Amino acid sequence: MDLAISQVSGIAVNSGGGLVSENRSEFNSMSDDWVRPFHDIDALTDQNQRMLFRYWQDSHLGGDLPSPDCIDPLAFPTAALPFLVLEEYERDTRRFRTRLTGTAYRDAVGYEGTNRRTDETPGGHAAAERLHWIVEASQPYWYQGPFSFSARPWTAFSVLSLPFGRVDEPVSRVLCVFDFQPG
């Protein structure tokens, strides 16, 4: 399902899934980057992303987002745990704080991100923009782009980001599942 969204929290996403930002400075060197609303599990090639997308779909109660109470790492596929990052949305500051960082993610980026604000980490401003989109849209998204914010031996990465929220607090957590492509 490809959705057209004119503008969400400073980010415009066209019906083809292309990312256009009012602040192009972070994306100028990333012309092939894109973010899109995501609903098609068959489009995922990474098994961890596929497994967590199924978990997220199975956690829906009616038409609402899955509750943050559904986030149970003990129920997640073990193979996916090292590739997870859990972000908490702080409504009062409109910022994100990383609550959980998997070891594969930590090793790939070269720093421990747990308890850090997302926009204060390498590559974090672009990540925060994408996370703001998910808070406003209350939909999962998939993003793929160059791995340019670390000296590690990766050339690209993808991330599937899954929103969790309550009726009174639409999106309060975002579970991110990463896949790193070697160079």
Q: What is the pTM of this model?
A: 0.78
Contact call for residues 56 and 66 (beta carbons, < 8 A)? yes
pLDDT for 25 beyond 80:
no
Could you state, in order of their start, the residue ranges of all structural domains in the chain?
42-182
Residue of higher predicted confidence among 19 and 56: 56
Mean pLDDT computed over 33-56: 82
User: What mean pLDDT value characterizes the chain?
Assistant: 78
pLDDT at 55: 93
Angstrom CA distances, 4 to 1, 7, 35, 36, 117, stand at 10, 9, 12, 9, 30
123: phi then psi, degrees, rounded to nearest 5? 75, 5
Query: What b/e sequence results for 20-34 when a residue is b if at least 16 CB atoms lie within 10 Å of its CB, and e otherwise?
Result: ebeeeeebeeeeebb
pLDDT for 181 beyond 70:
yes
Question: Residue 54 and residue 40: Cα distance in Å, rounded?
Answer: 11
Tell me the CATH number of domain 42-182, given options 3.30.450.20, 3.20.20.110, 3.40.50.300, 3.40.50.720: 3.30.450.20
Q: How confident is the model at residue 36 (pLDDT cuts 50, 70, 90)?
A: low
